[in-house]
Structure 1
Amino acid sequence: MSRTVLEIVRSAAPAIGLERPGVLFGSTSRTEIELQRAVIEAADMVLRAHDWRKLMKISTSTGDGSETEFALPSDFLRMPKDADVWSSRTQSPLSRISPEDWLQMDVGIGDFSYGAWTLFGGNMVFRPALSTGETARYWYVSKEVVQGTDGARKERFSDDDDLFVLDDRVLELALIYQWRKDKGLDYAEEMQAADAALSREVESDKGARIVTQRSSRLPATKVAYPGVITP
């Protein structure tokens, strides 16, 4: 069973030369406030180190024949590397277009009648507009790496009983490293320990890869675009 954030901090306290705190987020003392900041930063560091499977979600955009821009999910952090956006109309991935190629199409240099997408302005943008009832689905990594006492996910710790969704031992080591770094102390050994634990967890997580299966009736390649497409 996962430890609470207070339990993680209490476990790390001796290693950073502190007394084990009785409370964390309910305290107004400088030390506890600094610990709050350090554990939040450590959690963010672990979050951004890898496309964690525990944080993967699917987003679906449904077309109405005219809308081209769809807001990204409120908990969107990023799309996994080389992620595709799949259309229910073509039953194949749409083509990702770079911002520069998108502008070329806007000024009339080329077009993309088969379907393309890009990200800008906090939106998933399609060209042409998704047809009525057409869905476009894609994987994304959620930034909600904390679970509250009510079971709901959130982005940051705010309560002593909050749980870290990912490995709490990695978080503890990252906290020790982060604390020493913030205090201007030597942290080379602690950073090495945190990196080693993180690397092991990343390798373990990679063993549960999501496999994309393509129909044998569909080509595995994407439709060619008359121009240079930058991934």
Structure 2
Amino acid sequence: MGQWCRPSADANAMMTILEIIQAVSKNVGLDVPSLAVANTKREIVELIQFATETATEVARRADWSALRATATITGTGTNDNFALPAGFARLTMGSAVTTGGNPVRGGISQDEWLSLTSISGTPRYFRINGTSSISFYPYPALAATATVSYLSKNWASNGTAAWVNDADTPLVPDVLVTQGTIWRFKRKSGQDYSDYLAEFEATLADLAATDMRERLP
């Protein structure tokens, strides 16, 4: 099985997408490129796509601390659906929604929610509407606040879920982005990728277990 080495002088620094693509290229037998995101060579375009797919998968499969964020919801005094941040992926484990330091309960059914009479007060229940908004019962008074702890889907250092330039780094572990890009490239090329996939899965399990609580797909 091929091996890759972290090219950065700082062992704790995240690899850039250029460094990831260069490491992958060495492993799969491609010429090492001097640029990645703007590269038009077919194989490099494919590697960028595979690195994107990998980072998206890795972000989904574990609750990485680097992706954890909070949002403050401010009451309007009316029974509104309150917008969640554009990068919202899912709530964190545990008491993800609080008001005044007290947890707000979720997980009630649609029928239960629809049976509630709209009133103003201190929220006791919440309901997530897809990934776009959140509702409360009772709905919060004007200027009252609630805190939502969530995992972002934006896994790149540029604040998005895409590579924009060669200096971008992943907020998820770079070793996983590298390994995942390798096995995807080998699969696409018709090569045996089972060992590389197994290595990726083992690394994912190890790193997820030591970061935050692991989540299955």
Please tell me the TM-score bracket, short chain as reference.
Answer: 0.7 to 0.9
Count of matched residue pairs: 197
Q: Aligned to 1:164, what secondary structure does the other structure show? A: coil
Larger radius of gyration: 1
Give, in angstroms, the shift of residue 114 of structure 1. 5.8
How many angstroms apart in 2 are the aligned matches of 1:75 and 1:94? 22
> Is the alpha carbon distance of 1:113 and 1:56 closer, same or farther for their aligned partners in structure 2, counting shifts above 3 Å?
closer
The residue aligned with 1:22 is 34
How many angstroms apart in 1 are the aligned matches of 2:54 and 2:162? 11
2:180 counterpart of 1:169: no
How many angstroms apart in 1 are the aligned matches of 2:87 and 2:76? 24
Q: Do the aligned residues in 1 keep the contact of 2:90 with 2:152 (CA within 8 Å)?
A: yes
How many angstroms apart in 2 are the aligned matches of 1:205 and 1:182? 31
Match of 2:185 among 156, 161, 179: 179
Give, in angstroms, the shift of residue 113 of structure 1. 8.2
Q: TM-score if structure 2 supplies the norm length?
A: 0.82
The residue aligned with 2:109 is 98
How many angstroms apart in 1 are the aligned matches of 2:39 and 2:122? 59
Match of 1:126 among 102, 125, 136: 136
How many angstroms apart in 2 are the aligned matches of 1:24 and 1:34? 10
Q: One-letter code of the match for 1:203?
A: A
Give, in angstroms, the shift of residue 179 of structure 1. 1.6
Q: Do the aligned residues in 2 keep the contact of 1:83 with 1:138 (CA within 8 Å)?
A: no
Q: One-letter code of the match for 2:148?
A: Y
> Is the alpha carbon distance of 1:133 and 1:11 closer, same or farther for their aligned partners in structure 2, counting shifts above 3 Å?
same
The residue aligned with 1:145 is 155
> Is the alpha carbon distance of 1:182 and 1:82 closer, same or farther for their aligned partners in structure 2, counting shifts above 3 Å?
farther
2:74 counterpart of 1:62: yes
User: For residues 184-224 of structure 1, what are the alpha-carbon distances to aligned partners after superposition, in whole Å with 9 as ceiling and x for unaligned?
Assistant: 432210011111111121122138xxxxxxxxxxxxxxxxx
Q: Do the aligned residues in 1 keep the contact of 2:122 with 2:140 (CA within 8 Å)?
A: no
Matching of residues 28-43 of structure 1 within 5 Å: 28-43=40-55
Give, in angstroms, the shift of residue 181 of structure 1. 2.6
Q: Aligned to 1:38, what secondary structure does the other structure show? A: helix
Q: Aligned to 1:3, what secondary structure does the other structure show? A: coil
How many angstroms apart in 1 are the aligned matches of 2:110 and 2:188? 38
Q: Aligned to 2:162, what secondary structure does the other structure show? A: coil
Q: Do the aligned residues in 2 keep the contact of 1:68 with 1:127 (CA within 8 Å)?
A: no
Give, in angstroms, the shift of residue 14 of structure 1. 2.6
The residue aligned with 1:225 is none
How many angstroms apart in 2 are the aligned matches of 1:66 and 1:135? 13
Match of 1:9 among 10, 16, 21: 21
Q: TM-score if structure 1 supplies the norm length?
A: 0.77
